[in-house]
Amino acid sequence: MKKIIFTTIVGLVLLLSGCADVTNTVKVDKKGDATISFDIDISSVAGIFASSYSEEALTKLEDAGFKVDKKSNTSYHIEKKLEKSSTKSDMKPEDFGVKITNTKSFFTQKVRIDANIDPEKIWKKEVADVPFPKEILDQINYTLILDLPVSTIGDNNAKSVDGGKLTWDVPLAEKSEMYFDVTLPNVKNIAIVGGVLLVGVIVLIIYLVRKHRKKKKIA
């Protein structure tokens, strides 16, 4: 599915003859499922986007399970939900310059994401038969939004952070670096400690009740 998304979006990009705004949002819920969406707005100069080729590209996205909402000839919303339990991918993060580090402690685990993105390198790997269109990609304002179900965001270089939502402006024609870390609770260990504490409280209550009853009998 990775190749379908990449090559189809690339096909749409190649149709652009003017400036464009692309907002790519990845929203993750508490179950680990994700909704990926693209909001594409193109200047009126890029009316070519409404050509038959673009319609063919959008049809391919629909066939791949994406919901396509054509707001106008120059404005589209493309969306798909990916369920963690049913999603299989041949994508390796390191192939795209992404490194994931997981540091665990007893109560929490910290996940660190470091991404060194080289668009030209990715392009040559995925679209070997088409020259890297630097001039076209230079005209695209690409925004990446990562919306997480937790707000414990640590060190990062996002343009803005609002709770668990991080926003980056990503240049498509040159190398860029993105990073962030997030602290997650170690639910299992917290549950164990919570259970131990609960048992301790119950034992203490039983002890106090018995002690109180004994005092009553003596009185």
CA atoms within 13 A on the CB side of 36: 13
- The answer to whether 124 touches 133, Cβ cutoff 8 Å, is no
**Residue closest to 183 by CA, chosen among 112, 100, 94, 77:** 112
Q: Which domain covers residue 203, as residue numbers?
A: 187-219
Residues 95 and 123 in one domain: yes
Position 147 confidence tier, pLDDT thresholds 50, 70, 90 = very high
**Residue closest to 82 by CA, chosen among 33, 146, 147:** 33
**8: amino acid identity, one letter:** T
Residues 92 and 21 in one domain: yes
pLDDT, tens digit, for every residue of 82-130?
876 555 556 677 777 889 899 988 889 999 999 998 988 888 877 767 7
What average pLDDT does the segment 60-74 reach? 81
In whole angstroms, how far apart are CA 153 and each of 101, 173, 187? Answer: 15, 28, 18
Q: How many domains does the chain have?
A: 2
Position 219 confidence tier, pLDDT thresholds 50, 70, 90 = low
Residues 139 and 181 in one domain: yes
What average pLDDT does the segment 28-53 reach? 70
d(CA 205, CA 219): 21
Residue 199 has pLDDT above 90, yes or no: no
Residues 175 and 193 in one domain: no
- The answer to whether 15 touches 53, Cβ cutoff 8 Å, is yes
Question: Mean pLDDT in the chain?
Answer: 78
Residues 35 and 138 in one domain: yes
